[in-house]
Chain A
Amino acid sequence: MRKTVVAICVFSLFVVLSGAAVAADTIKIGAIYPFTGPMAGTAKMCRDGTLMAVDIINNKYGFDFLFADTEGIPSLGGAKIEVVFADSAGDPKTGMSEAERLITSQKVVALVGCYQSSVTKTASQVAERYGIPYVNGDSSSPMLTERKFKWFFRTDPHDGLYAAQQFEHLMQLEKDFGVSLRRVALVYENTEFGTFASRAEEEAAKKYGFEVVENIAYTTGATSLTSEVTRLMSAKPDVVMMAAYISDQILFTKTFKTMGFAPKVWHNTAAPGEPAYLQSVGADGNYLFLRQGFCADQAVNKPVIADVMKIFKEKFGQEMLADAVRSFHAPLALADAFNRAGTTEPEAVRKALLETDIPGKYCLSPWEGIKFDPETHQNVHAQYIICQIQDQKFYTVFPSEFATRKSVFPFPSWEGR
């Protein structure tokens, strides 16, 4: 018995010491994602995107990219970045307690992630309280940056920016095809993300003179969506604008098909861009429009995309999709701030983040770069592109300077496919 106790003590000491030894030359950042529950697949994509950025920061690569020609953070003696992942289970309360745990017991110097806006909202409140920098790349609710938090930064665009783009795209379609698409129906999941996305769409609709004919909030994870779709059909919209999470996106697609509902335009947020979507629905996913922060076909404008995607595929065994790219930019911006601050001390890092000016060639998304607004800390260069699924692949169709294909219009009926 006594031997066991001694052994355990020695072992614990060893663990503690080795931990300390590791901590001396690594920088720990915390990343919270919904690894269990219905969003687990998305969480894995986000995790891989985060690890991809960290991999480029920590190792030498032969292409022209931020930190690609050095190992670790140069100004900190080549210190490597280590990511401590935590599981929010998609629950704002859990996300909050995990943020607390990462900061207090794991001693992370910065946070990234959460994906779901509702969780990012609570986790960032914790970071705010402890005075720890939080850079988010994968939550899209406008409210997150509208709070003007001192410690919260966002690299990705938000739903408010997207809403305007959606209506610009509709007007482009009206012009190209000589039709009227003024009757718009909004469908959205009833938490942070969906509610704010639809609100932004509603405001944009007013501004551009479109009529919102139906406004449907639904519960994510619903066992059946027939009553939602029935209501949609009764409203006879030209356009459906949907803000759904992946599982509901699959079920909505099935339900649209089953009930024979085909609006002229079906606009979506990022959900159909996840790998599970096309794997599940196959050709039924064709002709949807979706917003993306990134599309693989943009490699024609930016060759480095192909390099990073190739490494990603080798490392993680799947294609690098938009969600991975969204999560990729946050650790990159953090590493850049650590490097310019020459320390991981929070206030210095915050100051460095405010002075961030990463050029567009070091972003995988079609941006002019990363530069945070001094008030809201929203990346001022961030913007989306609108893609359409054609032949079960993603093609950029809007804005025209990035387009690689023309929009297919109208959305064909289900029978005629």
Chain B
Amino acid sequence: MLLGFTHALVAGLLMGFVYSLIASGLSLIFGVMNIVNFAHGEFLMLGMFAAYWCSVLLGLDPLVSIVIAVPVMFLIGVVVYKVIIRRVLKGNRISQILVTFGLSVFVANLALLLWSPNYRLVERNLSFAMGNVKLLGIHVGIPEIIASVGSIVIFAIMYYITHFTKTGRAIQATAIDPEGAQIVGINIQHVYTITFGLGVACVGAAGVLLATFYYIFPYVGSFFAMIAFATVALGGFGSIEGSFVAGILIGIIEALGGFFIGPAVKYAIVFIVYMIVIVLRPGTGLFGW
């Protein structure tokens, strides 16, 4: 029993870090631009496919190709912002929801058309990053450990950019008060572009890390996106620290709930916890303001 508990706890924690990274990109975009990106899961899927194609065509391990994939995802984010999102920022809520939702359907089906619905796994070629290790009498997968460490590193980089650089301060200012930011000479279009790129780069990075141990197919993003929305709401809209902590919490709740109560209801338990937080702290989640 104790062994099972430790196993579930460790596995939940590791998965939680990945959830955190996925959610923080979503949270960042929402916090700054006040737009809920329904295509978030599809960007995750693109990140996973980026890792897959780098491995198939260039023979690169995801741990190497992350260096290529993240800038590419950043650029995709920039292009999507410039071509689509920019035009609906001034529009009403409904058109914003519809446009990102439409984008999600479009991207998923484009992937279906280009890459077929088949399931794929990345063939690894860095042998040190495979297999599992025995810790405290339990087996833990090395890819999972690397993915969670990677998630923490990427999150730290993003946190540094948004909190300790000039651009980051401009992003913070725009999030708090766009008009005020414009008055003091911040180019908010520029800020929005970078923010969207960063958010997509984050989720793309999460996709690459996830690709080291999870199967890949065009609709892979939908289930993760659902968890990401719950994570962002639980952590508090617009708070990237909040979404990071909430991601870890959700990973642990899912694993322990599945172990002690029943796997069939583990997601129900996640959403019940979320409901409780929403009732106790409506509108702010755990860390929102």
Q: Is the CB of A227 within 8 A of B132?
A: no
Q: Is the CB of B119 within 8 A of A37?
A: no
Residues in B with CB closer than 8 Å to A224 are 11-12, 15, 251, 254-255
Does A223 have its Cβ within 8 Å of any Cβ on chain B?
A: yes
Within 8 A of A (CB), among B209-265: 213-215, 217-219, 222-224, 227, 251, 254-259, 262-264
Within 8 A of A (CB), among B120-146: 120-121, 132, 138-141, 144
Q: Which residue of B lies closest to A261 (CB)?
A: B139
Does A41 have its Cβ within 8 Å of any Cβ on chain B?
A: yes
Q: Is the CB of B257 within 8 A of A227?
A: yes
Interface of A is mostly: helix
Given contacts A36-B112, A231-B4, are A218 and B263 in contact (CB under 8 A)? Answer: yes
Q: Is the CB of A275 within 8 A of B118?
A: yes
Q: Is the CB of B144 within 8 A of A258?
A: yes
Residues in B with CB closer than 8 Å to A299 are none
Q: Is the CB of A251 within 8 A of B214?
A: yes
Residues in A with CB closer than 8 Å to B251 are 224
Q: Is the CB of A226 within 8 A of B11?
A: yes
Nearest CB of chain A from residue B215's CB, rounded to whole Å: 5
Does B267 have its Cβ within 8 Å of any Cβ on chain A?
A: yes
Q: Is the CB of B263 within 8 A of A217?
A: yes
Q: Is the CB of B120 within 8 A of A227?
A: no
Q: Which residue of A lies closest to B258 (CB)?
A: A227
Residues in B with CB closer than 8 Å to A360 are none
Residues in B with CB closer than 8 Å to A222 are 223, 263, 266-267
Does B40 have its Cβ within 8 Å of any Cβ on chain A?
A: no
Question: B119 touches which one: A41, A230, A231 (CB < 8 A)?
Answer: A41
Q: Is the CB of B117 within 8 A of A226?
A: no
Question: B141 touches which one: A38, A250, A258 (CB < 8 A)?
Answer: A258
Given contacts A40-B112, A217-B263, A224-B11, are A234 and B213 in contact (CB under 8 A)? Answer: no
Q: Is the CB of A280 within 8 A of B215?
A: yes
Does B116 have its Cβ within 8 Å of any Cβ on chain A?
A: yes
Interface of B is mostly: helix
Nearest CB of chain A from residue B199's CB, rounded to whole Å: 20
Question: A250 touches which one: B109, B215, B218, B267 (CB < 8 A)?
Answer: B215
Chain A's interface size range is: 35 or more
Residues in A with CB closer than 8 Å to B140 are 258
Question: B7 touches which one: A218, A259, A276, A280 (CB < 8 A)?
Answer: A259
Chain A 35-50 near chain B by CB (<8 Å), digits 1 or 0 = 0111011011000000
Residues in A with CB closer than 8 Å to B259 are 227, 230-231
Does A216 have its Cβ within 8 Å of any Cβ on chain B?
A: yes
Q: Which residue of B lies closest to A217 (CB)?
A: B264
Residues in A with CB closer than 8 Å to B12 are 224, 226-227
Q: Is the CB of B112 within 8 A of A226?
A: no
Residues in B with CB closer than 8 Å to A246 are 119
Residues in A with CB closer than 8 Å to B141 are 258-259
Residues in chain A within 8 A of chain B (CB atoms): 36-38, 40-41, 43-44, 190, 216-219, 221-228, 230-231, 233-234, 246-247, 250-251, 254, 257-260, 275-277, 279-281
Residues in chain B within 8 A of chain A (CB atoms): 1, 3-4, 7-8, 11-12, 15, 19, 109, 112, 116-121, 132, 138-141, 144, 213-215, 217-219, 222-224, 227, 251, 254-259, 262-264, 266-267
**Supplied contacts A223-B214, A250-B121, 5 more A-B pairs, CB within 8 Å:** A40-B219, A227-B255, A233-B4, A250-B119, A259-B138
14 sample A-B contacts, Cβ–Cβ < 8 Å, listed by A number: A40-B218, A44-B117, A218-B264, A219-B264, A222-B267, A225-B263, A226-B8, A227-B255, A247-B215, A250-B121, A251-B215, A259-B141, A275-B118, A277-B119
